[in-house]
Amino acid sequence: MLIQRRASNPDLSFSDSIHPLLQQVYSQRSIQSVDELELGFSNLLSPQSFKDMNKAVSLLADCLKNRKRILIVADFDADGATSCVLAMNVLRQFGAQYVDYIVPNRFEFGYGLTPEIVELAKLKKPDLIITVDNGISSIDGVTVANKAGIDVLITDHHIAPENLPAAQAIINPNQAGCAFVSKCIAGVGVIFYVMLALRTFLRKINWFVDNNLAEPNLAHQLDLVALGTIADVVALDRNNRILVDEGLKRIRMGRTRPGIIALLQIANRNPNRISASDLGFSVGPRLNAAGRLEDMSTGIECLLAESASRAHALALALDGMNQDRKQIEAEMRDQAFASLKELSLEDERMPPALCLYDERWHQGVVGIVASRIKDKYHRPVIAFAQSDNSEQGPIELKGSARSVSGFHIRDALDAVATKNPGLISKFGGHAMAAGLSLDLDKLEQFEKAFAEHAASLLSEDQLQAKIMSDGLVDSQWLSLESAAAIDSAGPWGQAFPEPLFDGRFNLLQQRRVGERHLKMVLSPVQDPQRVIDGIAFNVDAEVWPNESTAEIEIAYRLSVNEFRGAVNLQLIVEHILATV
């Protein structure tokens, strides 16, 4: 593990009102101007720069005017669930008489608007299908819908293939010709923009006045947008930070739905002090557990719930699923590490990319396992499980891929598929995460082709795990004031990470708390009179505590710690890099 300090942009000039430590951090983030730090709803990008937005609005307005039946087809993750709930809420507020949803069970139907899902949709007799967080690759499904006389509006954010479905309108910033500059917007952000554009049109034609409807305040949906955006781990560019920031503010003020409150309460998170990481690590996984183990309808119903009691009951069910998911994940993770224990990062046989398969593995959890393996070995990983459809023919595998910086995993799958026709049945995804299907008897060939492609692109340096640090902190800024400034300065997240610093500290006291946590009392080597509490979670119990260690080099975050009414600075130690 190497430490690498982020490069600083010397051209940025900050106001004196910005805390000096935050100036240090911001100069090392991917911003070109200090104006990008100004958030606020008024700075959002315009919906009109989306390709096909006028077509989408016309489709939806026609459904409202003629009381047509609308069916939402959602993806089975937190982004899909929040997208579905947002669309249903707003369309009903706009006066839609019939709005329903289907969320595919990933084990029966797979991903997207498949022909099988369209057949299921026909039972609800929709005039229009709206896909949320999926659909950009659903060529066959859209063809079946068109033949049945069902219009299709695709809203998605995944990378578009060369050939697009013949939908009546496609809203996706990642399709050719779309001028919307925030290419990393989540699926829930896309459908939010569609609703913004539709409301503008309805306002112009006096729809709300003529139909005696209160014009909805779409800011009420930003709690969903924040949750879906953070849970989907999309990059937090300025536009996404605005959406997340506004959503977090609403949750902190209590202006959120019972389902989100219930999920926060079960996770022991205070809604009044919620951060983006609370959504990402506490609420998102509980929602996602439904889609991983069963289907996402429980999560959708929890977010749709209008009473606290119903929301709490559904949140409890989601929490139970998440506990089951953790147990399954732990077993699969142990099996994966056991199969790799003869390999190490120092072993020259370690390939530049890893493919793992075990017939015992759960299809809904392989993505998490791939992520854990990727974190340990710092190279692209694809974990495979058998598809539930394997009884109907050749054994089919479903793979979930996770990547490292600099290796676009969806493009890599595209390159392998192009070079090896027929090897991959289907694939899709993003730069850092993707999914694919292939037959078991082709796994060995795929593994070789994938490793060869990775080897052609990845350098030894890229395969070396690094800790990206914001540098040293002057001891005067090791304070509660600095921690509070960082805490209130977010939202922090993907591509706009929470500040992480490094430095050498005297280890004055150390003791284990819980099973694997290390509680410490530290002092900076350069300022030994300053005493600070620290804690490291999930340390190696065979190494720590270590009474022979008096000085450590650490990577850490500044944190505000509240305990028994007292508020103090605490260092969250992410890595203990070296000891002397």
Q: CA-CA distance, 574 to 486, in Å (whole number)? A: 17
* Side chain identity at residue 45, one-letter code: L
Check if the beta carbon of residue 438 is closer than 8 Å to that of residue 401.
no
Examine the domain organization and report whether 491 and 396 are in the same domain.
no
Across 58-62, 295-299, 424-428, 559-563, the highest mean pLDDT is recorded for 58-62
Examine the domain organization and report whether 7 and 69 are in the same domain.
no
Q: What is the pLDDT of residues 4-29, one digit of tens each?
A: 999 999 889 999 999 999 999 999 99
The owner of tokens 């490292």 is: 404
Low-confidence winner among 329-343, 416-430, 516-530 (lowest mean pLDDT): 329-343
Q: What is the CATH number of the domain that holds 255?
A: 3.90.1640.30
Q: CA-CA distance, 411 to 445, in Å (whole number)? A: 18
Mean pLDDT to the nearest integer, 445-473: 93
Helices (H), ranges, 253-346: 258-266, 276-278, 284-293, 297-304, 308-340
The pLDDT of residue 141 is 97
Task: Tell which residue, 396, 394, 371, has the closest CA to residue 385.
Answer: 396
> Residue 569: is its pLDDT beyond 50?
yes
> Residue 289: is its pLDDT beyond 50?
yes
Which of 457, 483, 499 is at the close of a domain? 457
Examine the domain organization and report whether 84 and 183 are in the same domain.
yes
Examine the domain organization and report whether 180 and 311 are in the same domain.
yes
Any domain includes 329: no
Which of 457, 481, 514 is at the close of a domain? 457
Both tokens assigned to 20: 């000096």
Report, in this order, helix, strand and coil percent for the chain, each rounded to 5. 40, 20, 40
Strands 151-155 and 169-171: parallel
Confidence of residue 343 (pLDDT cuts 50, 70, 90): low
Examine the domain organization and report whether 178 and 87 are in the same domain.
yes
Any domain includes 271: yes
Examine the domain organization and report whether 144 and 283 are in the same domain.
yes
The pLDDT of residue 76 is 87
Examine the domain organization and report whether 238 and 297 are in the same domain.
yes
Any domain includes 402: yes
Examine the domain organization and report whether 174 and 267 are in the same domain.
yes
Any domain includes 21: yes
The pLDDT of residue 580 is 55
Task: Tell which residue, 546, 562, 204, has the closest CA to residue 576.
Answer: 546
The pLDDT of residue 526 is 94
Examine the domain organization and report whether 129 and 216 are in the same domain.
yes
Domain of 369, in residue numbers: 342-457
Any domain includes 326: no
Phi, psi at 436, each rounded to 5°: -155, 165
Confidence of residue 345 (pLDDT cuts 50, 70, 90): very low
Any domain includes 322: no
Q: What is the CATH number of the domain that holds 393?
A: 3.10.310.30
Any domain includes 59: yes
Both tokens assigned to 262: 């219930």
The owner of tokens 């190494």 is: 543
Examine the domain organization and report whether 213 and 236 are in the same domain.
yes
C-alpha pair distances (Å), 121 with each of 105, 128, 140, 506 = 13, 10, 14, 64
> Residue 428: is its pLDDT beyond 90?
no
> Residue 520: is its pLDDT beyond 60?
yes
Mean pLDDT to the nearest integer, 93-98: 97
> Residue 347: is its pLDDT beyond 60?
no
Low-confidence winner among 203-207, 343-347, 399-403, 523-527 (lowest mean pLDDT): 343-347
C-alpha pair distances (Å), 174 with each of 156, 183, 186, 231, 478 = 9, 6, 11, 20, 42
Any domain includes 281: yes
> Residue 392: is its pLDDT beyond 70?
no
Q: Is 157 left (phi over 0), alpha (psi -120 to 50) or beta?
A: alpha
Which of 317, 352, 378 is at the close of a domain? 317
Examine the domain organization and report whether 451 and 566 are in the same domain.
no
Q: Which residues pair with 356 in a beta bridge?
A: 383
Q: Which residues pair with 151 in a beta bridge?
A: 128
Q: Is the pTM of this model over 0.85?
A: yes
The pLDDT of residue 436 is 93
The pLDDT of residue 109 is 73
What's the structural domain count of the chain?
A: 3
Mean pLDDT to the nearest integer, 321-346: 85
Examine the domain organization and report whether 280 and 308 are in the same domain.
yes
